[in-house]
Structure 1
Amino acid sequence: MSGAARHDVVVIGAGIAGLVAARACARLGLSVLILEAADAAGGCVGRTEIAGLSLDTGAEGFATRNDSVATLIEELGLGADIVDPNPAGAWLRLPPLRGHGALSVPMPKLSILGIPGSPLASDVVAAIGWKSAIRAYSDRLRPVLTIGTEKNLGELVEKRMGSAVLERLVAPISTGVYSADPHALEVDAVAPGLNAALTRAGSLSGAVSLLKADAKPGGGVRGIRGGMHRLVDALLAELAHFGAEVRLGARAVGLDEAADGSWAVSTEQRPAEGSATAEPGATEHAVHAARAVIVATSASAALGLLAAARPDWDEHQGDWAGGSPVEIVTLVLDAPALDVAPRGTGVLVATGTPGTVAKALTHSTAKWAWLAEAAGRGRHVVRLSYGRIGEASPSATLGDDELTALALRDASAILGVDLDAAQLVGAARTPWRDALSHAALGQRDRVAALRARLDEESTLAVTGSWLGGTGLASVIPDATAAAAGIRRHFVHL
Structure 2
Amino acid sequence: MPERVDEVVVGGGVAGLVLARRLAMAGRRVVLLEASDRLGGQVRRVRVAGIDVDGGAESFATRGGVVAQLATEIGLGGEIVAPVASPAWLYRADGTAQALPATSLLGIPGVPLAADVIAAVGTRAAMRAQLDVVMPATVGADATTLGELVRRRMGDAVLEELVDPIVRGVHSTRADDLPLDRANPGLRAALLREGSLAHAVLSLRESATAGSQVGGIRGGMARLVDEVTADLELFGVDVRRGAAIDLGAVTPERAGGVEGRVTLATAAPTGDDRLVSVVVLAVDDPALDDAPRGTGLLVAAEAPGVRARALTHLTAKWEWMREQAAGVHLLRLSYDRHDLTDPAETARADASALLGIDLPSPLDVAVVPWRRAVARTHAVDGMHRIGEAESGTGLAAVIGAAEREAGRLLGALSGGTDSATD
- TM-score w.r.t. the length of structure 2 is 0.89
Q: Which amino acid aligns with 2:317?
A: K
Per the alignment, do residues 385 and 150 of structure 1 end up closer, same or farther by CA in structure 2, a change over 3 Å counting?
same
Match of 2:355 among 415, 419, 428: 415
Q: Is the 8 A contact 2:137 2:191 kept in 1?
A: no
1:354-393 matches, within 5 Å, as: 354-377=304-327, 379-387=328-336, 393=337
Matched, 1:152 2:145: yes
Match of 1:289 among 258, 274, 279: 258
Per the alignment, do residues 265 and 405 of structure 1 end up closer, same or farther by CA in structure 2, a change over 3 Å counting?
same
Q: Is the 8 A contact 1:147 1:202 kept in 2?
A: no
Equivalenced residues, count: 414
Q: Is the 8 A contact 1:328 1:386 kept in 2?
A: yes
RMSD value over aligned CA atoms?
A: 2.8
Q: Is the 8 A contact 1:322 1:434 kept in 2?
A: no
Q: Which amino acid aligns with 2:405?
A: A
Per the alignment, do residues 152 and 296 of structure 1 end up closer, same or farther by CA in structure 2, a change over 3 Å counting?
closer
Q: Is the 8 A contact 2:374 2:389 kept in 1?
A: yes
Per the alignment, do residues 143 and 79 of structure 1 end up closer, same or farther by CA in structure 2, a change over 3 Å counting?
closer
What SS does the aligned partner of 2:64 have?
A: coil
Matched, 1:471 2:394: yes
Q: Is the 8 A contact 2:14 2:40 kept in 1?
A: yes
Match of 2:255 among 233, 256, 265: 265
Q: CA deviation at 1:487?
A: 4.1
Unaligned runs of 5+ in 1: 97-101, 267-287, 305-320, 388-392, 438-442, 455-459
Instruction: Tell me the distance in 2 between the aligned counterparts of 1:141 and 1:27.
Output: 50
Matched, 1:17 2:15: yes
What SS does the aligned partner of 1:67 have?
A: helix
What SS does the aligned partner of 2:75 have?
A: coil
Q: Which amino acid aligns with 2:221?
A: M
Q: Which residue of 2 aligns with 1:483?
A: 406
Instruction: Tell me the distance in 2 between the aligned counterparts of 1:263 and 1:211.
Output: 41
Q: Which residue of 1 aligns with 2:173?
A: 180
Q: Which residue of 2 aligns with 1:120?
A: 113
Q: Which residue of 2 aligns with 1:73?
A: 71
1:69-468 matches, within 5 Å, as: 69-96=67-94, 102-140=95-133, 149-199=142-192, 203-213=196-206, 215-253=208-246, 254-255=248-249, 263-266=253-256, 288-298=257-267, 300=268, 322-377=272-327, 379-387=328-336, 393=337, 395-396=338-339, 398-399=340-341, 402-421=342-361, 424-436=362-374, 454=382, 461-468=384-391
Question: For each residue in 1:248-292, what CA deviation from the matched residue of structure 2 results, as whole angstroms up to 9, or x when unmatched?
Answer: 2324105456xxxx94423xxxxxxxxxxxxxxxxxxxxx32332
What SS does the aligned partner of 2:129 have?
A: helix
Q: Is the 8 A contact 1:65 1:473 kept in 2?
A: yes
Q: CA deviation at 1:153?
A: 2.5
Q: Which amino acid aligns with 1:291?
A: G
Q: Is the 8 A contact 2:299 2:310 kept in 1?
A: yes
Q: Is the 8 A contact 1:35 1:246 kept in 2?
A: yes
Instruction: Tell me the distance in 1 between the aligned counterparts of 2:193 and 2:220.
Output: 40
- TM-score w.r.t. the length of structure 1 is 0.77
Q: Is the 8 A contact 2:139 2:153 kept in 1?
A: no
Q: Which amino acid aligns with 1:360?
A: A
Per the alignment, do residues 263 and 152 of structure 1 end up closer, same or farther by CA in structure 2, a change over 3 Å counting?
closer
What SS does the aligned partner of 2:63 have?
A: coil
Instruction: Tell me the distance in 1 between the aligned counterparts of 2:131 and 2:27.
Output: 60
- Overall identity of the aligned pairs, in %: 45
Q: Which amino acid aligns with 1:232?
A: V
Question: For each residue in 1:2-57, what CA deviation from the matched residue of structure 2 results, as whole angstroms up to 9, or x when unmatched?
Answer: 2x544333221000111111112222344332211223110111111122111101
Of 461-470 and 13-22, more deviation after overlay is shown by 461-470
What SS does the aligned partner of 1:66 have?
A: helix
What SS does the aligned partner of 1:328 have?
A: strand
Instruction: Tell me the distance in 2 between the aligned counterparts of 1:107 and 1:490.
Output: 48
